[in-house]
Structure 1
Amino acid sequence: MNWLNLIGLMQHMAVVILFLVIGNRLYPSVIHRTVALKNGMHGLLFGTAGILTMLIPFQGGAGTLAPMYHIVAALAAWVGGPLSALVSAGLMLGVRVALGGVGLETGIVAVGLASAIGLVYRRLRPADRDSSLGLVHPALIGVLVSAASMGLAAIMLPEEIRSVWLWHSAPSTLVVFPVSSMLFHYFMNSEWTRKRRYAIDEKSGLMSSALFLQQIRKWIDARTPFYLALLDIDGFKIINAINCESSRAHLLNQVGQRLKNWMPDNALVCRLEREEFLIVMTDPSFRKLPDVSLEIWDELQTLLSSPYSMNRQLYHLTSHIGVTAYWNEAITVEELLPRAYAALQHSKDSGLQQVVQYHEKLTTQIRRRTMIEVHVRTALQHNQLHLQYQPQYEVHSGRLRGFEALLRWEHPELGSVEPKEFIPLAESTESMLAIGEWVVRQACLTLMRVAPSPSSLTISVNLSASQLLDPGFADIVEQVLSDTGIEPQRLELEIAEHTLAGSFDKAELPMKRLRAFGVRLAIDDYGLGATTLPHLRRLPVQAIKIDNRLMLETAGASDRELNDSLFESLKLLPCEIVATRLETYEQLAFYKKHECHFAQGNLLGRPMDGERLPALIGGVQLA
């Protein structure tokens, strides 16, 4: 092969490569969502490229041709499978028959043989999209096709041209076919992968977020009504903690497959980021909002909550869904998504697997939540936190037992912020440890100021889950006891029952360590969680606080036996029973009947500032 032949070869391959690059950029990305369309497009591109090699043939030497469409046929079969092989071979054979000439029969058989080589090689070693730079397998395919082409020529070409063709074409074919195969595959695969990544999310197998949002923008421009739902999957953090990243990807793929199986005909689904998915539903007429019932979302959540198999273990996931509607508004996608986020956040805050429809009030709630999340980090430094104290009394004698310290936050812009609003956010921002230490210290200092030793009055302080499980919290309590001089038995630390859910075994050890200091421990809000009596027997607690809401929910006559059974069971434990949230004398009589030891609530005394405690203590002592 001389220099002119080499230049001709390079020009010839450049034309084919340029076509493959341009062709890949012209077809619509949605083709990647359907396997049949994707493989059909493979065949169309490779087949047209093969036709180009016929119309612009390369002269290998002494006037002989190097039939490069053979290698194109093999690549089409290897990369795209039977459908791609059928389409590409059909196009090339049709043109080859139309061109006619010497070697027609050989050319037809060679295309079929090259396609067969590609299909067999695909069976043994499928084309791998993740190794788009790998050139070994395309080169091997080129070698096999070149050997098959020369073998066919030796068998089928007329004797008068066979020896000339083989003598002049064999060297160039052995070089041209592998090199062409590597280059064609590299550029085709690079462009195809780039296009696929724009269209398909590789981890979930769903439509890419870029293509999804592009479609949403088109519908907004056309004023097409639709529902937009934001789906969040919970449980990945735990699974990630005990598995590798590949396991997370495998789990995402399972979730994506279930979403595709569930997806109605009028819906599109994509993965937005991490474990969040967007779902859009339109009406077939594109003129009104689709008829979407709650049963559709219930079906989806049921499907997603079914166990997932991974590494020979079963895992469970939960989900929350926020939904918003678009109806002929002058709005952008960027303005629409926060509505779905607001509805999703409300669903999460409820603690239930429920679907929440967006309304304007949610935006205000989310804005307030965001401000709380930002400002709770500095509330302690800006002296915006303070404590109030609610008295606790012995039920039968009326003797003052002590106080519960209740955390309050007054913000200059937000106003009074309820603990149920800011404590979960303080937990998530890791601000709760510092706030919790401040609360314990302030409560102990207040008790020592208003009721110094040898008083037996107690102070109760609520603990968060992060405080209880923090390895250094017990040391903090020990230091506070030492600094304030308060006797350990006068400090009672309350752990809400629901904080023990899922972490009972982890909580047992730190609770025993706190108890070893002499500090009292109590289970708060008992009855609203799922802690069983055998669990309680294992915990070193001295008091159980029953939330009055439990009694209100079981106030019917049919529930009296249940209440009686609950109290009889609690009496078997070596614990004091404390009733909370008392509002009426009827409730107080109820707890007296069931021999509760202590009680607190607005009926007996509202929370008050520390400055008012001396007067209350003095009045009780005089009485």
Structure 2
Amino acid sequence: MWKRRARPPVRSTSRLFATFAAASLVPVVALGALVSQDYSRAAAEQGRAQGLAQADVITQMVIAPALNSEDSPAFGSDDLSRRGLTQEQHDRMREATRLAVYNGSVQHLRLRGFSGRVIFSDDGSTSSGVPVSDPDFLAAANGEARARVITGRTQTIRVMQPMLASATGQSIGVIEVYLPYQKIADRLQAQVEHTYWRIGAGLAALYLVLALLAWWITRSLRRYAADQRHNALHDALTGLPNRTAFRTWAEARLDRAARDGGHGAVVLVDLNRFKEVNDTLGHHAGDELLRVVSQRFRSVLGREDILARLGGDEFALLLPGLDSAEAVALMERVRDRLAEETVLDGVPLSIEASFGIALYPEHGSQLQELKQRADIAMYQGKRGTVDVVVYSGEGAGHPHQWLVVQAELRHALERDELILHYQPKVGVTDGDVHALEALVRWQHPQRGLVPPGDFLPAAEHSGLIVPLTEWVLRRALADQLGWTAAGQSWAVSVNVSARNLEAPGFPALVAALLAEAGTAPQRLVLEITETALAGDVETVERAIGEVAALGVGISIDDFGAGYTSLSHLRGLPVTEIKIDRAFVKDVADDPQSRAIVRSVIALAHGLGSRVTAEGVETAEVYRWLIEAGCDEAQGYLIGRPAPWPQVAPTFAVPTVIDTERASR
């Protein structure tokens, strides 16, 4: 089966990754440069600190002992420029510095006064040196040692050290010392290089982590984008293309076929009685059934065929290159494959479906047109005996020509061609009329009186049921005013569908119509088919609750025919349960029907609801209902639908009641 996959946006995500990687490299490099600069500055500061410490040691261990011997006078606070050195001090200084210079711990040493005069120099020179105006000289003169690295052929640390008097501790001169820095610089350089490698390795690891993170994020974004695109075009339950994808891909195929002269078929498929599976086995079983159906479809279809789930139990196919006979043969193989028994929740099931086929370009070239005609053919199959139907052109349509009926019904509402007949509901114990059920008829200008079965399905299918129900409610409440004026207090029952309950504002419409007619809400009963409770449950239950809050009675019609879960009845404000005629008609001679009816009666009474039996046509059935404890009865034995003035207040059923009592 042909299936298009969503392509991930590779270029955009690759570009995103490259941008992220480049952007993350900038702060990493900047961080590395900043750390390196800080460490180099710290290393230089460490070198200067070592120079200051070494100069201080030289001052304390070499110069101070040479100047402050026992045989030499102590220095006071006088500037060395005025006093100078004695010959003995000068000789000791020369001897001490000679050893220091010879050992390589000092490159050059001067002792200077505040005026800049050289008091002592290891090489005997009395000129040059740091100018007196130099900040380092001035700082040393004020008692603060300064160190500076001087680069050249060799690296040197120049230290300006204050010369302190031993007696007073005051600065009396400046020691200008030049120390070898190459070994210190080499050692610091080795430390810096080692640190650089460690920092570089750490930053490289950090960048690698950031790059991997960027790669993972971009890959995740790519996958997320691909998943989002796939989810937007595919059904989450079956994995098949959804309605949007089918429209896009099928229209592209049809456009290509129109250009190239191609042909094929569009098929709509609807599962039969799928709702019963949901209602009896639960929605999880319905979901599993849809997955099974999808897999069986795939096993039969070809790679070029497009299969999509449009929603619910409806599927669509586009079969390129097939003619009518080939499309029918393929769908028959699909039908046979679907019909193979499957077991859900321990229940063996055989899946049946209806297939409607429209051919292109024979039946149209636009997807919407082809789908409409395939839909017509499919519904023709649902109402007939053949489940694979090809659109046959003129004359084909929904049952009873639904498309025509829908158009005419709109005009019928405008022209007031509809009328109401009423069928009474009586108490089984006394035969008195308790309510009339409103049944709509269509007085067609050409076809005469049309029964509801000929037009209500078309109205339900098209949404005309909403204005039709509003018309019935308004007319029924108006007729009720007529029989109330004639002295009858009968309630009136009106049938409403799931579409009515799901329509926004339905409870407000009921309230407005009651107010318009001036009728007490208790005299109106809305009959809801049991199957309506299995639709949009939350919306339906909310609408029922709002209507019941007005005081309107709620009746569950055709109970037992829809296989609705009993959980739908829990919590609903139900005032009446009507037993479907399929069970009532056989209670005289069918034990199973009797058991079902008795169970429904007990259930209804347990819920606080009255019970009405539909389709009562014989006295024997009527007598049995009395014995079973049924509350009300409705059927041809009691009265056929007729305009309300023809409904009599009592019927012949009391004779049945009297006969039953006499037999006891």
Offset, 1:468: 2.4
- Please report how far the alpha carbon of residue 445 of structure 1 lies from its aligned counterpart in structure 2 after TM superposition: 1.5
Aligned counterparts of 1:442 and 1:469: Cα–Cα separation in 2: 22
Contact 1:263 1:269 in 2 (8 A): no
Residue 395 in structure 1 maps to residue 425 in structure 2: no
Which residue does 2:114 correspond to in 1? none
For 1:466, the equivalent position in structure 2 comes to: 499
Alignment of 1:29-48 (within 5 A): none
Alignment of 1:421-570 (within 5 A): 421-452=454-485, 455-551=488-584, 556-557=590-591, 560-570=594-604
Contact 2:483 2:489 survives alignment (8 Å): no
Could you tell me which amino acid in structure 2 is paired with residue 591 of structure 1? L
Among 262, 268, 280, the residue aligned to 2:299? 262
Q: Is the 8 A contact 1:545 1:578 kept in 2?
A: yes
Q: 1:405-455: per-residue Cα shift (whole Å, max 9, x none)?
A: 111123335654443443344345443333322211211221221233874
Q: Distance in 2 between matches of 1:367 and 1:620?
A: 38
Count of matched residue positions in the alignment of Structure 1 and Structure 2: 393
> Which of 637, 640, 653 is the aligned partner of 1:603?
637
* 1:297 equivalent in structure 2: 335
CA distance in 2, matches of 1:462, 1:469: 14
Q: CA deviation at 1:506?
A: 2.2
Amino acid at match of 1:457: W
The answer on whether the counterparts of 1:230 and 1:277 sit within 8 Å (CA) in structure 2 is: yes
TM-fit CA distance, 1:371: 0.7
Deviation at 1:567, TM superposition (A): 3.0
Match of 2:621 among 577, 580, 587: 587
Contact 1:231 1:276 in 2 (8 A): yes
Q: CA deviation at 1:265?
A: 5.9
1:411 aligned partner? 444
**Aligned-partner residue type, residue 598 of structure 2:** D
Residues 270 and 127 of structure 1, relative CA distance in 2, 3 Å threshold = farther
Q: Cα 1:302–1:472, aligned 2, differ >3 Å: closer, same or farther?
A: farther
Tell me if the contact between 1:582 and 1:588 (Cα under 8 Å) persists in the aligned partners.
Answer: yes
> Normalized against structure 2, the TM-score is what?
0.48
C-alpha separation in 2, matches of 1:272 and 1:470: 25
2:639 aligned partner, one-letter code: G
- Which residue identity is paired with 1:230? V
Offset, 1:342:
2.8
Residues 522, 542 of structure 1: 8 Å contact kept: yes
Q: Which residue of 2 aligns with 1:343?
A: 377
Instruction: Label 1:210 to 1:480 Cα distance change in 2 as closer, same or farther (>3 A).
Output: closer
- Does the CA contact (< 8 Å) of 1:206 and 1:270 recur in 2? no
| SS of structure 2 residue aligned to 1:607 | coil
Deviations 1:141-188 (A, max 9, x none): xxxxxxxxxxxxxxxxxxxxxxxxxxxxxxxxxxxxxxxxxxxxxxxx
Cα distance, 1:230 vs. partner? 1.3
- Matched-pair contact (CA < 8 Å) for 2:2–2:306: no
Shift of residue 375, structure 1, vs aligned partner: 2.3
Q: Which residue does the alignment assign to 2:389?
A: 357
Per-residue CA deviations over 1:214-258 (Å, capped at 9, x if unaligned) read 699778xxxxxx9x6612479xxxxxxxxxxxxxxxxxxx99996
Counterpart Cα distance in 2 of 1:509 and 1:340: 36
Structure 2: 5+ residue runs without aligned partners? 19-242, 272-290, 345-350, 656-664
Structure 1 position 391, deviation (Å): 1.3
For residues 483-509 of structure 1, what are the alpha-carbon distances to aligned partners after superposition, in whole Å with 9 as ceiling and x for unaligned?
323222221111111111133332233
Matches within 5 A, 1:273-312: 276-279=316-319, 294=332, 296-299=334-337
Q: Assess, with a 3 A threshold, how the Cα gap between structure 1 residues 324 and 414 changes in structure 2: closer, same or farther.
A: farther
1:342/1:358 contact within 8 Å kept: no
For the 8 Å contact 2:262–2:321, the answer to whether it is kept is: no
The answer (yes or no) to whether the contact 1:393–1:599 under 8 Å persists in 2 is yes
Q: Which has more radius of gyration?
A: 2
2:411 is paired with a residue whose SS is coil
Matched, 1:386 2:416: no
Aligned equivalents of 1:256, 1:535: Cα separation in 2: 28
Quote the Cα distance in structure 2 between the aligned partners of 1:213 and 1:413.
44
Taking the aligned partners of 2:318 and 2:341, their CA distance within structure 1 comes to: 17
Aligned residue type for 1:584: T
SS of equivalent to 2:471: helix
1:589 alignment partner, SS class: helix
1:210 paired with 2:243, answer no
Is structure 2 residue 267 aligned with structure 1 residue 230? Answer: yes
Give CA-to-partner distance per residue, 1:550-600, whole Å, 9 cap, x none: 445897445544443333333322111011122333432332232211111
Q: For 2:622 and 2:562, locate their aligned partners in 1 and report how far apart those are by CA, in whole Å.
A: 23
CA distance in 2, matches of 1:472, 1:622: 43
Show the counterpart of 1:83.
Answer: none
Give CA deviations for 1:286-332 in whole Å, capped at 9, x if unaligned: 999986685632535999999xxxxxxxxxxx996425699xxxx93
Amino acid in the other structure paired with 2:337: E
Q: Are the counterparts in 1 of residues 355 and 389 from structure 2 also a CA contact under 8 Å?
A: yes
Instruction: Give the distance between the partners of 1:202 and 1:430, measured in 2 at CA.
Output: 23
**Pair 1:365–1:289, CA change in 2 (3 A):** closer
Distance 1:581 1:622, change over 3 A: closer
Structure 1 residues 621 and 564, CA gap change in structure 2 (3 angstroms): closer
Equivalent position of 1:332 in the other structure: 362
- Structure 1 residue 387: deviation in Å? 0.7
Report the counterpart of residue 195 of structure 2 in structure 1. none
Is the 2:300–2:334 Cα contact (8 Å) retained in structure 1?
Answer: no
Provide TM-score, normalisation by structure 1.
Answer: 0.51
Letter in 2 for 1:541: V
Q: Which amino acid aligns with 2:622?
A: L
For the 8 Å contact 1:464–1:499, the answer to whether it is kept is yes
Distance in 1 separating the partners of 2:405 and 2:256: 33
**Cα distance in 1 for residues equivalent to 2:2 and 2:528:** 51
Distance (whole Å) between structure 1 residues aligned to residue 593 and residue 544 of structure 2: 33
Q: Is the 8 A contact 1:388 1:608 kept in 2?
A: yes
Are 1:209 and 1:271, in contact at CA under 8 Å, matched by a contact in 2? no
Distance (whole Å) between structure 2 residues aligned to residue 487 and residue 620 of structure 1: 30
Cα distance per residue 1:385-417 (max 9 Å; x no partner) = 111111111112111112111111233356544
In structure 1, the residue corresponding to 2:401 is in which secondary structure? helix
Counterpart-to-counterpart distance in 1, 2:470 and 2:325 = 59
Name the residue aligned to 1:617: 649
Change (3 A) 1:451 1:482: same
What displacement does 1:524 show?
A: 0.9
Query: One-letter code of the match for 2:316?
Result: E
**Corresponding residue for 2:407?**
374
Summarize the Cα distance change of 1:282–1:500 in structure 2 as closer, same or farther, 3 Å threshold. Answer: same
Distance 1:278 1:272, change over 3 A: farther
- Contact 1:405–1:460 (CA<8 Å) still a contact in 2? yes
Render the CA deviation track for 1:68-110: whole Å, top value 9, x for unaligned. Answer: xxxxxxxxxxxxxxxxxxxxxxxxxxxxxxxxxxxxxxxxxxx
